[in-house]
Amino acid sequence: MIDIHCHILPGVDDGAKDMDMAVAMARIAVDDGIRTIVATPHLGNYWKVYADIVRTKAALLQAELDRLGIDLRIRCGNELVLENAAFVEETLRNERCCFLGDNSAFLLLEEPWAGFSPDTWDVLETLRARGTTAVLAHPERHAFFREEPSLLDRMIETGVVWTQVSVDSLLGNNGPDAKAFAARLVDRGQVHTLATDAHNVARKPILALGFDAVAARAGAAAADAIRERMAAI
């Protein structure tokens, strides 16, 4: 399995605090059947973990995992916050963020927690022009999507947005509202990808239970479709 959203890089954001924590997270992931993690530290006005930092830290972590014989590949990514259109466009133009696995066809994008960005539509057009699909981080956790689901529907209908639902939401670990909205997305066939959004050994990189939850609710074919979609990344 591949985890496309994970804060495993040590000491760069609110994820793994040091190399020991990152290694512990890696062991949990491997035990769960994960063989590749796309490291996606935050990139926005608060956390400024630019591409050069990501690549350096990812190489250091990979070297440590190899030394310890832990069978896990670390790929580079970012969780880019949609602060505003100018910020996103400048970041992309200056190549200061990592796409998912450095595959320019996919970018992990997060809406601001304060509210839905009115610049969303301009950013999606920018991504369309680049041939990039926005993988929208954990929409089920944002109150504005839960209160106005049509916003998310409109984003998906643009054809350049996939959702990334977090396993913890499906399991109820992010609260009942997030769980209920995640279930709604499963029922509507709007879960395009799953990820752990792991930050430490408590908020850990466990992915298999998420596929089990989708299969239990919508059938094995629905879970398999998500796996196949993620293989494209």
CATH of the domain at 10: 3.20.20.140
- Whole-angstrom Cα distance, residue 132 to residue 206? 27
Q: Residue 119 is which amino acid?
A: D
Beta-carbon neighbour count of residue 176 at 10 Å? 8
Total domain count for the chain?
1
pLDDT means per 10 residues, the chain with 233 residues, are: 98 98 99 98 97 98 99 99 98 98 94 98 98 99 98 98 99 98 99 99 98 98 97 89
DSSP 48: B
Alpha helices, DSSP H, located in the chain:
19-32, 51-68, 85-93, 120-130, 143-147, 149-157, 167-171, 176-187, 208-218, 220-231
Instruction: Report pTM.
Output: 0.97
Domain span holding position 199: 2-231
Residue 151 tokens, joined: 């916003």
Residue 107: left if φ>0, alpha if ψ -120 to 50, beta else—which one?
beta
